[in-house]
A and B are shown apart, each in its own frame.
Chain A
Amino acid sequence: MDLATFLIQCLNSLQYGLLLFLVASGLTLIFGIMGVINLAHGSFYMIGAYMAYALAPLVAGSIGGGFFTTLVVGLVLAVLLGYVLEWAFFSFLYEREHLQQVLMTYGLILVFEELRSLLVGDDVHGVKPPEILAGSLPLGELMTYPVYRLFISGVCLALALGMYLVFTRTRLGMMIRAGATNREMVQSLGVDIKFLYRVVFAAGVAIAVLAGMVAAPVSSVYPGMGNTVLIICFVVVVIGGIGSIRGALLAALLIGFVDTFGKVLLPQAAGVLVYVLMALILLWKPDGLFRAG
């Protein structure tokens, strides 16, 4: 492997890892703060990707505008979706056992997947990146690297930073952290914990939908894409330590590199590598790399 190929694979790993982090961060937040195992999280990623495909013509037809307008419209819809879902399906689950939540969210996966099939069909679709980002940067003498992939990494990094700031530097972040530690206490201090949970859930959904929309031009859009992402994201969350955003970031990057380089260097074993990595890490540290306090 020469230097340019190596560099390209590094950039790919980084981009894949950061994208995984976006989806996984919502998952780890919802689990860490609300204590809900949300199997349907992968469906939100899938919904995002399909929004990038199906909303684009609608947005262009009604209000005009291209990729970025679609992103904004998609985000607004995602927040609404998350808010309504939390109200309808999750708000009564907090007191129940984890397994009941697993059952409920498994049901939701089936429903989302079939609604997608009814509304958009079962075909594989490509999504074009926006004009401005469609080019490639030269890398070395022969290689080029698509600008759009750099854009994905940039968006993910910006969001990661934003999340970090909200959590550590704002009053909202403080309330969320407190609510994760002791729900009753925070409630008795006058914070509307139900509303807070709803906000966290909506934010988690919006981030996953955004990840799906941004990833659509690279990954294409296909049935079942949510499930693949879901399982990998669970691996990320567990390796990183449940509820830990920092851990999720590190684990996502680790998986990004192992998976990308695995596909290049050991194509036969690429599928297994991620799981071997996870098993090894958990045998070494049974609570993941960073255990959230």
Chain B
Amino acid sequence: MSGVPASRALFVLGAFALLTLFPLGAGSFGIDLITKVMIYAVFALSLELLVGSTGLVCFGQAAFFGLGAYATYWLTPADAAPSLAWLLPSCMALAAAYALFVGALSLRTKGVYFIMVTLAFAQMAYYVVHDTPLGGGTDGVYLNHKPVLGALLDLDKPLALYGFTLACLVGVFVFLALLLRSRFGRALAGIRVNERRMRATGFSTYPYKLAAFVISGAIAGLAGFLFAVKDGFVNPELLSWHLSGAVLIMIILGGLGHLRGALIGAFAFAMLQEFFKSEAVFGSFARHWLLGLGLAIIASVALLPRGLVGVPAQVRERLWGARGDAAAEVDDEPG
């Protein structure tokens, strides 16, 4: 990790340290909210691998998230709490399997067509859980039991879930950071920058893209699993295109091409949501919270072309006009 500037490493470490200390001073509302934010962050990281690192804009990421959540419901037995040890890998495997199917077919297309095909496959999954008996109906269903790990960990307890989610988030972040620095990650970056040239130099790009797609699906499945466990409830909206759109917004808002952009984006998106929904600030107007969120998104596009991650560089440019350094700042270094 020698290429990472100290300020970035410090930022990420600081963020994780804060998240670790957070439960000491927070009430149950805060714990629940930050758990949700961390789940969004895991979900956003899964999409960042595709969009920011590989240049594949997937508009159906919610399908893998939702399938991870529904798998939790399908596999939870009626009479006893399932063990985390087999339930979590199974949920991720199911999401990954669907990602393998979707990826194998949709990676034949490119650009906007790819966006739409992934959307189409997500809509198919959506209608399967929405319209067939498999899904338990439009209104969703409750989980019978929350998973446990022997006597060690009971995910029904908010603090235990918080800790487990944080561990997952750190695990996924470190995994992706290492992955992107490996030969495999370099190949993905090459595909993003110029796929034709990668092929010309003898890389068969398809297996790389497919592998990235499946890994991304599995991570989204992990996020879906966590979400289902947190709420104890799944519904078809977890697979809807609104959610696919929202997670895309998170990573763009945070800044594409940086893993920490996904963290920042997920956090900012959730906080904006909470802020505009807050009746303490907006009174009865809080009912129309989407208006504020929409305006904030539009303002961010107009003012922050590189996302929130690019803000320090933008500020530096303003103050010192240091264009050269700033350009070096934006590049491809993941992290």
Could you tell me which A residues sit within 8 Å of B by CB distance?
31, 37, 39, 89, 92-93, 96, 98-100, 102-104, 106-111, 113-115, 117-118, 227, 231, 234-235, 238, 242, 268-269, 271-272, 275-276, 278-279, 282-283, 286-288
Contact = CB atoms under 8 A, between A and B. Distances in A.
Given A114-B288, A278-B116, A286 B110 contact: yes
18 contacts: A37-B112, A96-B305, A99-B51, A99-B252, A100-B301, A103-B249, A103-B300, A103-B301, A104-B297, A107-B295, A111-B294, A113-B290, A114-B288, A276-B124, A278-B120, A282-B108, A283-B105, A286-B110
Nearest to B306: A100
B299 to A, nearest CB: 8
Nearest to A234: B116
Contacts of B298: 89, 104, 107-108, 111
A114 B291 contact: yes
Interface string B96-125: 000000000110111011001101110110
A56 B294 CA distance: 29
B152 to A, nearest CB: 42
- Size bracket of the B interface: 35 or more
Interface stretch (B9-17, B22-30, B128-136): B128-136
Contacts of A114: 288, 290-291, 294
B113 A282 contact: yes
Nearest to A286: B109
Given A100-B301, A269-B127, A275-B121, 11 more contacts: A93-B301, A96-B305, A102-B252, A103-B297, A104-B297, A110-B290, A115-B291, A231-B123, A235-B120, A271-B131, A272-B127
Nearest to A109: B294
B248 interface: yes
B310 interface: no
Interface string B182-197: 0000000000000000
A49 B105 CA distance: 37
A108 B109 contact: no
B121 A231 contact: no
B155 to A, nearest CB: 33
Q: Which 6 A-B pairs have the closest CB atoms?
A: A110-B294, A107-B297, A114-B291, A271-B127, A111-B294, A107-B298
Contacts of B256: 99
Contacts of A107: 293-298, 301
B124 A110 contact: no
Contacts of A242: 112-113
B125 to A, nearest CB: 9
Contacts of A235: 116, 120
Contacts of A99: 51, 57, 248, 252, 256
A276 B121 CA distance: 8
Nearest to A118: B288
B245 interface: yes
